[in-house]
Each structure stands twice: as structure tokens, then as C-alpha cells.
Amino acid sequence: MLAFVLRRLIQAVVVMLTVAFIAFMLFQYVGDPVTNLLGQDATVEQREQLRIDLGLDAPFPVQFARFVGNALRGEFGLSLRQGRKVSTLVVERFPATIELALSAAVIALLLGVPLGVYTALRRGSVGSQVWMTLSLVGVSLPTFLIGILLILLFAVIFKWLPSFGRGDVVSIGGWTTGFLSLDGWKHLVLPAVTLSVFQLALILRLVRAEMLEVLRTDYIKFARARGLTDRAVYFGHALKNTLVPVITITGLQLGQLIAFAIITETVFQWPGMGLLFIQAVQFADIPVMAAYLCLIALIFVLINLSVDLLYFAVDPRLRIERVAAAH
């Protein structure tokens, strides 16, 4: 157990260092910070002085160590485009993205699991075939197109819902939330639904496949032979065992949601980190790109790590195998 956790931790640290290295190389070789700060007309002496002041004359490993140290404290310098501190920018945008991603995950789970169970139990019925076809369309439709179609339908034609921004937000200790006002909720609906469609289709298909698999097993046959009601067999026995992989995948998909939020945020002009990142890519704003890269990598590494550890805790077979291998 300890060895497993340790190995995972080391792997996580290696990934983070690699990402930090890529971010560092971005800083180092893309665009010259001295020219950026001083402009073209500075003298050679001025340049050299600034180079020493900035610590750019230090050997490579020292500079990298300094960069990692700064990154650990959240220091990524100034945004080239906006001239503000990158850390402030990211902290401002963070709540918007998290609220959007969490709402989408909740929608996907609340609809995906019941629909998956339904399509598995009523296999071949018209209703379940309709849902399966819809889920295939949901997987094939690009996120941005779903967003545009929803805007066309609900914002332009019916004029029911707003189509851009977060609306009224309430600030609680630096965390801005849209959950506390009706306007905020209205603004959340379309982006959250857009972001959830792909995950919804994925969870639906996953739950269905797992459910069908479990329903074929012997212990389900045995449960039926004992005379349990359908309800007890399906929900007491089958669904419970279906949910382990579903939880894993959903956990891993949370990272996907944050990444795909880039697209949704662009479509709906949602003021989150994704929008910040896209603007940084368009204008080659290296500090913002590097900070986003490191933050996203951190989120992904943390998610993967906790899913791995959870899996280890949940699935006893993994533990037994290790004990058996140790003997």
C-alpha cells in the first residue's frame, strides 16, 4: 500500500516538474523579457544591468529552481497584454470556471445515471432507442455547436435566457458566486447544459454498458432465483456494482469538464479561466499561458491521484492481488 502510494506520488511530482519545465522554457525562449521591459532603444549596458537584476545571468538550473519556487508561491509575473499580475487574474477567474464545471457535472450525473439504467433495463424499447441515438448525436456534436444552437433557440428565437456573461454575482470573501441571485442562475443554465451534453451522453452509455454486463452475472441470476423483486435486483444489487466504474470515470471527467470549459466559455463569453487562456493564446501572452498550464496540470494530477487512491480503497481485489504477489 505504502509503496503504491509513494510510487504514485513520485509520478505526480515528475509530471508536475515536466510541466513546469515546459512552462519555464516558454518563458525562457519565447520572446525576450529584457526587450519586452526596456523596448528596442535601450543601450547594451542597460540591458546587461537588467539581465543581472532579473537574475537572467544565473546558470540554467538555478533559474529553473527559482522559477519553480516562484510558481509554488503562485508568482508568474505580469500579463503581457493586461499589465496586471497573473496570479490576480487567475484568482479572479477561478470561481466562474469551477461553478460552471460543477454545475455541468451535476446535470450530467443526475440525468445520465437514471437514463443509463432505463436504457439498459428497457433494451429494445422505442424510448431507449431514441435515447441511445440522441446520445450518439451528443457524442458527435462539437461542444461549440451545441452552445450556438442553444443560443439560437433559447436566446434568439424564444428570448427566454441570456446568452453571455455571468449576470449578477455576489462576492463572498473573494469568491464570486452566481448561485445566490436569480439572474446568476439564469445565466448559468445555457453554458452548464452545453458543457454537460458530452458528459451526459458518455455517462449514459457507460452506465448502460456496465448495467448490461452486471445483469448477465451469476449473482444476479441467483438473486432472481431467490425470488427477489425486480426492484431489489436492479437497484439493490445491480446498480450498486455498476456505480464503481461510473464514479471513477466521472472523477476523471471532472478534469475534462474544466478543459472543455474553454470552449463553452468562449461561446458564452463566460468570464472564467478558459476565456483568459484563449485570449492569452491568441495574443501569445506567455505568463498567462504558463500559469494556466501549471494550474490545469496541478488540477489534473490531483484528480488522477485521488481517483487512483480511491480505487485502491474501494476495490478490494487490487489489495488482495498485491498481498498475493508479495508472498
Partner 1 sequence: MSTVLAPVKAPSRWARLADSDLWYSFRHSPTAIVAALIALLCVVCAVFAHWIAPHNPFDLATLDLLDARLPPAWVEGGSSKYLLGTDDQGRDILSALMYGSRISLFVGLASVALSMLIGVGLGLLSGFAGGSVDAFIMRVCDVMLSFPSILVALLIDGLGRALFPNAHESLAFSVLVFAIALTGWVQYARTVRGSTMVERNKEYVQAARVIGVAPLRVMFRHVLPNVLGPVLVLATIQIAGAIITEATLSFLGVGVPPTSPSLGTLIRIGQDFLFSGEWWITVFPGLMLVLIALSVNLLGDWLRDALNPRLR
Residues interacting with partner 1, by CB under 8 A? 15, 18, 26, 30-31, 136-137, 139-145, 148-149, 151-152, 155-156, 255-256, 259-260, 262-263, 266-267, 277-278, 280-282, 284, 286, 289, 293, 296-297, 300-301, 304
Least distance to partner 1, CB of residue 151, Å: 6
- CB of residue 260 vs partner 1: minimum separation in angstroms? 7
Q: Which is nearer to partner 1, 46 or 269 (by Cβ)?
A: 269
Which run of H or of E encompasses 170? strand 170-172
Least Cβ distance, residue 305 to partner 1 (angstroms)? 10
Supply the minimum distance, in Å, between the C-beta of residue 222 and partner 1: 26
Comparison of 176 and 264: residue with beta carbon closer to partner 1: 264
CA dist., res. 74 & res. 64, Å (int): 15
* Rounded CA separation 115/94 (Å): 32
C-alpha span between 179 and 15 (Å, rounded): 35
| Amino acid letter, 302 | L
Tell the smallest beta-carbon distance from residue 299 to partner 1 (Å). Answer: 10
Helix intervals (H) in 33-85: 33-38, 44-53, 60-72
Which CB, 164 or 185, lies closer to partner 1?
Answer: 164
Nearer to partner 1 by Cβ, of 188 and 262: the residue is: 262
Please identify, using beta-carbon distances, which residue of 242 and 264 lies nearer to partner 1: 264
CB of 285 to partner 1, least distance (A): 9
Q: Output 18 or 70, the one with its CB closest to partner 1.
A: 18
Q: Which residue has the cell 451469476?
A: 218
Give the SS3 label for residue 284: coil
DSSP 8-state assignment for residue 74: T
Cα gap 133→130, rounded to integer Å: 5
Rounded CA-CA distance 247/37 in Å is 49
Contact partners, residue 100, CB within 8 Å, separation at least 6: 188, 191, 192, 195, 261, 264, 265, 270, 272
